[in-house]
Amino acid sequence: MKIISAMDSMKGSLTSIEANRIIKEVFQDEQIEVKEIAIADGGEGTVEAFVENINGAYENVTVHNLIGERVATTFGWVEESKTAIIESAATTGIQFVDFTEKTHPKNTSSIGVGEMILKALDKQSKTIIIGLGGTGTVDGGIGALAVLGAFFYNTKGEKLEPLGNNLNQISRIDKKKLDPRLKNTTIIVAADVISTLTGSDGAVHMFGLQKGILPRELDLYEQAMESYRSILLENKEDQPGDGAAGGIGAAFRIILNAEVVSGIELIAKQVQLEKLLEDADLVITGEGKMDNQTLQGKVPIGISRLSKEFGIPTIAFVGEFTGDPSAFKEAGIQSIIPVIDSITTMEEAMQSAGENLKRTAQRTKELILLLHGTH
């Protein structure tokens, strides 16, 4: 039996590499071969997945987070192709949001993403891949664009500070002074969701609450994003992925001529997942929390849809599940298996994620062998 393990990270607990290693440790024996794939969808673990899969390197940099504090972080680097891999979450991640007024989306900015791009340009990058998952900002990408040389003005011709609070005041975007190196650089945006910029599945209504926008503020913030959308897109239709990372997807697509792609599909292509699936018998995937947002194109769904095309069953190990089981089954996930089997706190569950995954994987293996008559 051949199993492909393509676990996403369990945020704050296990990386994709660590989770896959546990699956292999449990399942692989004289009857079962396990192929591990470091995977991500543009969110946490994207840099690690690229570096692991293509033997890249890490570049250490110091930039600013979403409230302007200096942070030390890394981006991936492939010298041979002069390719940089950046995670937006490294600087604008939801981990910086503490649900106070200070980190409310109206007061935060994606400046760190722009600074990371500048660091990559300094290394003479030919291609920059930017993962958009896991961010805590809803600034339409104006913070990142401002760092790269764009200016935003109101109807009075006054230059605006690039914060979420000013989205509704933008009447003109000046991109004449964008860093000239961008013209000779291929920008690829790896989106973890198919969200549009506005609407019920947009950057505000779909993801605003988890980033600190209060329920009573959603409609007003949506109006501000719609105003910004009319200027940025010049009333053209927004596209899937535009709403990723609080609107960075749309900003980079329009202003930087970036190509917006599915993060999971990008990595799946890189590791030649389709070829690996040709002789696989089972696919194992999973993540920390699986809910209906997962259906937007996150790792487990990207993996299961591809596996389904090959007629290969997929199971998912999760820390928590609150979605619609029928929707996940339709997407190709035959069984969703929670790894927590006793009453516990969130902190305890995260600390014990490795042990919980190992124990649950062992039970699952025993069941599989029993059903195959090899127990």
- pLDDT, residue 341, reads 83
Regarding whether 57 and 11 lie in a shared domain, the answer is no
The parent domain of residue 55 ranges over 46-264
On the 0-12 / 13-18 / 19+ scale of CB atoms within 10 A, 355 is exposed
- Distance, CA of 214 to CA of 237 (rounded, Å): 27
Domain boundary among 240, 264, 288: 264
- pLDDT, residue 207, reads 94
Which run of H or of E encompasses 351? Answer: helix 346-351
Regarding whether 275 and 186 lie in a shared domain, the answer is no
Regarding whether 222 and 114 lie in a shared domain, the answer is yes
Regarding whether 150 and 100 lie in a shared domain, the answer is yes
Regarding whether 118 and 7 lie in a shared domain, the answer is no
- pLDDT, residue 346, reads 81
Question: Which CATH number fits the domain that encloses residue 306?
Answer: 3.40.50.10350
Regarding whether 328 and 221 lie in a shared domain, the answer is no
Look at the chain and report how many structural domains it folds into.
2
- Distance, CA of 126 to CA of 295 (rounded, Å): 33
Regarding whether 69 and 122 lie in a shared domain, the answer is yes
Domain boundary among 220, 249, 264: 264
Regarding whether 35 and 66 lie in a shared domain, the answer is no
Distance set, CA 202 to CA 28, 56, 62, 65 (Å)? 42, 34, 31, 23
Regarding whether 65 and 30 lie in a shared domain, the answer is no
Distance set, CA 294 to CA 167, 271, 289 (Å)? 28, 22, 9
- Distance, CA of 222 to CA of 217 (rounded, Å): 9
Domain boundary among 235, 264, 293: 264
Q: Please give the span between the terminal C-alpha atoms of the chain, in angstroms, as a whole number.
A: 14
- pLDDT, residue 374, reads 56
Q: What is the pLDDT along the chain (375 residues), one digit of tens a residue?
A: 999 999 988 877 898 899 999 999 999 998 899 999 988 878 788 898 888 888 899 999 999 999 999 999 999 999 999 999 999 999 999 999 999 999 999 999 999 999 999 999 999 999 999 999 889 999 999 999 999 999 999 999 999 999 999 999 999 999 999 999 999 999 999 988 889 999 999 999 999 999 999 999 999 999 999 999 999 999 788 899 999 999 999 999 999 999 999 888 888 888 888 999 999 999 999 998 888 878 877 888 989 999 999 999 999 999 989 888 899 999 999 999 999 988 888 888 788 889 999 999 999 999 988 887 654
Regarding whether 176 and 68 lie in a shared domain, the answer is yes
